[in-house]
Structure 1
């Protein structure tokens, strides 16, 4: 079902993201990249970077820019289950090796990547425990995992953002893409998703250590930074 939704909205996915987030999604990705690179300690001259649930490639573009600013050479990989999203990504991120596949069974060798990012994708994993295990498997020892996600926050700003998300987002998404159900699913997935601290514990049980948990304005998106190992 998730794959079908993303295939349906792929062509207008970026436009809707800009509209429903008031362009904040770009800001969230940029900050997530910057925070991840602060704790990254590459052991080699050239690093390997993987974006899981890469969608149309926005996170890969951001990672490439931020790594270049730091003078870090990298090879980039993207993984996504939606063929249509990957077709869009091919045009936006020709520098990346894009792979069709699922987070629960990634076609990569053990300990392949120095940095892995997942932007708004963990909610969509069909088997989160298995996917977390796969993220741990393909990440190098002491490698960094950056998870950018949506959740509900009890603050006034958070409640306001959640009201907007559940009331307005499906309407805008449906009007622009013709698939209102895809954005109704977004609301349902946020509602049933673990809160950030609970999610952090799930990763810790798999062998990760939590480095940082940070909410982004207006407290509907958060960043969870983790390292492989204790």
Structure 2
């Protein structure tokens, strides 16, 4: 069902993201990549973006590494073939594979860094996906999360109201698939807090290195390490 949902909005997915976040999603990705790369020690890392969508996170990570005069091998995994079609045009240098986060087609200990941007909420079996991310990471490998969650601050409550009331309207107007953007706020509503999520990851063998909220406190960044 998730794959079908994203297939239906693939061609306008980036446009809706830019408009509904007022371009902030690019800033969030850039900051997330910067924070992860500060902790990355591999000289030529293998990097996997899970739920890679149209490839924005891969492209952002590549730009971050270029600033450091470094290179990497990039891989992307997604359950939506149409999202991957868009990604192949944007990040032709990456190896893109269709598949699920719960059953990744990669050997144990394959990657130095695994990232997930706005995908963790959509995994049907989050625990299995976390276990798989742990499996495909090398020892001391990094996991980068960029995700939506509710924040109790005044700014966070305003951002939540905006997300619930405005985003489905704009998303539906541009794609004809308002239900896809209704899914967005409904999935955020039941998603764990970053602190609760950090505890879940600890139980699967990760240690949390940092947690940072992004303006306007509707998205957060978390960097973890496989132990």
Q: Normalising to structure 2: TM-score of the pair?
A: 0.99
Aligned match of 2:10: 10
Aligned match of 1:37: 37
Any idea what SS the aligned residue of 1:147 has?
strand
Aligned match of 2:25: 25
Does residue 133 of structure 1 match 2:131? yes
- Aligned-pair CA distance for 1:68: 1.3
- Write out the 4+ residue segments of structure 1 that deviate beyond 6 Å after TM superposition: none
Match of 1:94 among 89, 92, 95: 92
Aligned match of 1:64: 62
Deviation readout 1:105-157 (Å, 9 max, x if unpaired): 00001000001110000000110000000000000100110000000000010
- The whole-number CA distance in structure 2 between the counterparts of 1:151 and 1:92 is 28
- Aligned-pair CA distance for 1:73: 1.8
Any idea what SS the aligned residue of 1:224 has?
strand
Aligned match of 2:171: 173
CA RMSD in angstroms, aligned pairs only: 0.6
- Aligned-pair CA distance for 1:46: 1.9
| Match runs of 1:167-206 below 5 Å | 167-206=165-204
Any idea what SS the aligned residue of 2:57 has?
helix
Match of 1:157 among 149, 155, 161: 155
- The whole-number CA distance in structure 2 between the counterparts of 1:75 and 1:33 is 15
- The whole-number CA distance in structure 2 between the counterparts of 1:91 and 1:34 is 24
- The whole-number CA distance in structure 2 between the counterparts of 1:123 and 1:81 is 14
- Aligned-pair CA distance for 1:180: 0.1
Deviation readout 1:67-87 (Å, 9 max, x if unpaired): 111122211000000000000
Does residue 105 of structure 1 match 2:100? no
Any idea what SS the aligned residue of 1:73 has?
coil
- The whole-number CA distance in structure 2 between the counterparts of 1:28 and 1:38 is 16
Gaps of at least 5 residues in structure 1 are none
Q: Normalising to structure 1: TM-score of the pair?
A: 0.98
- The whole-number CA distance in structure 2 between the counterparts of 1:5 and 1:134 is 23
**Number of positions where the alignment pairs a residue of Structure 1 with one of Structure 2:** 227
Any idea what SS the aligned residue of 2:151 has?
coil
- The whole-number CA distance in structure 2 between the counterparts of 1:89 and 1:221 is 23
